[in-house]
Amino acid sequence: MISATQRRVFWGLVWFSILVLSLPTIIVLGASVTSGNMIAFPPEGFSLKWYEKIALARDIRGAFGRSLIVAFVCLVISVPVGTFAGIALTRYRLRFTSLIQIYLLLPFTIPLIGSGIGMMLVFGNWGILGHVWPVGLACAVINLPFIIWSVSSSAAVLDSDLELAAANCGAGRIETFLHVTLPGVMPGVITGGLLMFVLAMTEFLVSLLLTDARTVTLPVQIYNNIRSIITPDLAAISSVFVVVALIAVWLLDKLVGLEIFLKSK
Amino acid sequence: MTTDPDNSDFRYPLRWRLMDGAERLLEIVWPRRFGRFTGWLLLLPALLLVGILVLGLWQMAESSLHVLDRNTFLPSEEYTLSNYGTIWQSATYFKVIWRSVQGAVWTVVFTLLLAFPFAYVLVRTPRAWVRKLLLIALFLPFFIGQVVRAYGILIVLGTSGAVNDVFGLIGVGPYRLLFNFPAVVFGLVQYMLPFAVLMLAPALTSIPQETETAASSLGANWLRSMRHVVLPMAKPGIVGASLVVMTLSLTDFAMPAMLGGGSQDFIANAIYDQFFRTADQGLGSALALLLVALGSVLVAVIIGLFGAGTLGMGEKK
């Protein structure tokens, strides 16, 4: 940026964006440690009593546990499926590649409410509605393009001569896969798995459609509580998500570096 | 040759024998001559998983063709298009659809206004730590999830919230900032900003900084070099970001539900109400399919403009 005016205008807008993006998070963190019974900013005194309250609340612990189950089911389904698909798309010559790509992008192109309602009808027909694990399956479906994308981008830079060399040295197909292909795409698998886990933890709309009063996940629990009353214990639950997000960003930065998202293709 | 200390006849390690067994098993289950189809085999689970969505669309199409029988509260037997007729004639749904489209357009305008400078500074800043901090500010909300973000906005904009506190300091207000149309658009802009920046940034990365230097050395001020040099070159990224933001905000549920307070429903909220309040599956399915169709048109435009590889899935070898 050469001109001072431009710098001032752009940085002004950037600071406004940072404020808009971060202020709600900071306020939530602040509100969660208030010692008063009302959400107020600045908080009236410091106390961790709301954390104690949510740690003891049975419905919240249950919802948190179910969210973890959903995230794990999503991980267990999506990581192998996404890894194989990502490898297949980059390392094998397939016909109709662009058609397959459009098909595999359906989870992104169908609006979330449409996917959610559709899966609600399908799961209802299969008689599995009312369990927790179908929510994990649904999360795996709607976020699948993320892991396929991250595995494909690491598989694309893997030299295919390495696999031929392994085979040439007498390695079988499983051995080649386990010792050459899989380690090669591992960064993509880990990044994709991380995305899938966190997105399943925070998934709201599809959970709302697929759960009932006995199987609510944590985001749905927060949503239901907000509609009744806003108290600081909700801020404490929300802070749990902030911590999860902080860990996720830190891990993502350590594993692949956040700057990778700025590269032009 | 390695010799085992206490056994003279050499035995392969267990891991080798397991691996050999696995290879032999694979040779039976999936012989090498099937090699041509291995790619398809690996792709199959993903195709099946996404197939659940296709099945869902099919079910919605099927149930949208039955009207709700008001006497028995069960879907009627015969096939009819009257659910679509109901939507077509309803002034309420027209209003909801019109509100969603307006909300989406305003969201695109404000999101791009904020995302463009953000992406520009992100790409052009010479300091690595500034870039890192900007990226963290961008990714953190993305991972926090929509409900918690909406909750944060509820607190910030509330009657006794931070914004009204600031207004109080300068002696105005308090204002009612929540549960109206602008609040929903604000929430959507906050939600969409990371997506838009991440779509714009690669487009801006590919513009060499020298072009701007050249423009200014030829006497263009920064506004003119933005308008005539940077914006035209970033056009694909800008169009792509607009369409993605448009589609996502048009179909959003959480922000209108939480920040609109029930009075600012978008299409997704109307669909939800059909299923869970009035329990009219047929009408709800018809609405949902219309939304899917609307979204697909927008997506078709994206794919037509940039190709299916927009997400870089399966790079060309």
Going from N- to C-terminal start, the domains of chain B cover 14-64, 81-310
- Residue from B148, B189, B192 to probe the interface with A (highest A Cβ count within 10 Å): B148
Token look-up 């959480």 returns B254
Confidence of residue B312 (pLDDT cuts 50, 70, 90): very low
* Structural domains in chain A (count): 1
In this prediction, what percent of chain B has a pLDDT beyond 90? 42
Quick check: is A71 in a domain?
yes
- Residue from A121, A142, A253 to probe the interface with B (highest B Cβ count within 10 Å): A121
In this prediction, what percent of chain A has a pLDDT beyond 70? 95
Q: Which two tokens stand for residue A168?
A: 């040439």
The more confident residue out of A98 and B302 is A98
Quick check: is A5 in a domain?
no
For B145-172, write each residue's pLDDT tens digit.
Answer: 999 999 999 888 887 777 888 888 888 8
Give dist(CA B158, CA B52) in Å, integer.
41
Question: What CATH number does the domain containing A210 carry?
Answer: 1.10.3720.10
Give dist(CA B153, CA A137) in Å, integer.
30
Quick check: is A202 in a domain?
yes
Quick check: is A6 in a domain?
no
Quick check: is A235 in a domain?
yes
Q: Residue B303: pLDDT above 60?
A: yes
Burial of residue B70 (number of CB atoms within 10 Å: 0-12, 13-18, 19+): exposed
Q: Which domain holds residue A243?
A: 60-262
Quick check: is A109 in a domain?
yes
Range 71-100 of B in CB contact (< 8 A) with A: none
What local confidence, expressed as pLDDT, does residue B315 receive?
Answer: 40
Token look-up 């939800």 returns B272
Q: Residue B69: pLDDT above 80?
A: no
What local confidence, expressed as pLDDT, does residue B165 receive?
Answer: 80
User: Is B39 an interface residue toward A (CB < 8 Å)?
Assistant: yes
Quick check: is A116 in a domain?
yes
Q: Which residues of A touch B243 (CB under 8 A)?
A: none
Phi, psi of B37 (to 5 degrees): -100, 0
Q: Are A191 and A146 in contact (CB under 8 A)?
A: no
Q: Residue B245: pLDDT above 80?
A: yes
Smallest CA–CA separation between B144 and chain A, in Å?
Answer: 5
Confidence of residue B314 (pLDDT cuts 50, 70, 90): very low
Q: Which residues of A touch B253 (CB under 8 A)?
A: 112-113, 205
For B87-98, write each residue's pLDDT tens digit.
Answer: 888 888 999 999
In this prediction, what percent of chain A has a pLDDT beyond 90? 51
Judge: A41–B161 Cβ closer than 8 Å, yes or no: yes
What local confidence, expressed as pLDDT, does residue B308 receive?
Answer: 55
Phi, psi of A46 (to 5 degrees): -100, 135
Give dist(CA B58, CA B238) in Å, integer.
34
For A155-195, write each residue's pLDDT tens digit.
Answer: 888 888 888 888 888 888 888 888 889 998 998 999 999 99
For A13-62, write each residue's pLDDT tens digit.
Answer: 999 999 999 999 998 888 888 777 776 656 677 888 888 888 888 888 99
Q: How many CB atoms lie within 10 A of CB A95?
A: 8
Quick check: is A45 in a domain?
no
Angle at CA A223, nearest 5°, toward A220 and A229? 140
Q: What architecture does CATH give domain B81-310?
A: Orthogonal Bundle (1.10)
Reference A199, options A43, A78, A109, A35; nearest CA is A78
Give dist(CA B250, CA B284) in Å, integer.
17
Confidence of residue A1 (pLDDT cuts 50, 70, 90): low
What local confidence, expressed as pLDDT, does residue A40 receive?
Answer: 64
Judge: A259–B135 Cβ closer than 8 Å, yes or no: yes
Q: Which residues of A touch B120 (CB under 8 A)?
A: 10
Judge: B143–A198 Cβ closer than 8 Å, yes or no: yes
Range 285-314 of B in CB contact (< 8 A) with A: 285, 288-289, 291-292, 295-296, 299, 303, 307-309, 311-314
For B179-215, write each residue's pLDDT tens digit.
Answer: 899 999 999 999 999 999 988 998 898 888 888 888 8
Q: Which residues of A touch B303 (CB under 8 A)?
A: 102
What local confidence, expressed as pLDDT, does residue B237 receive?
Answer: 85
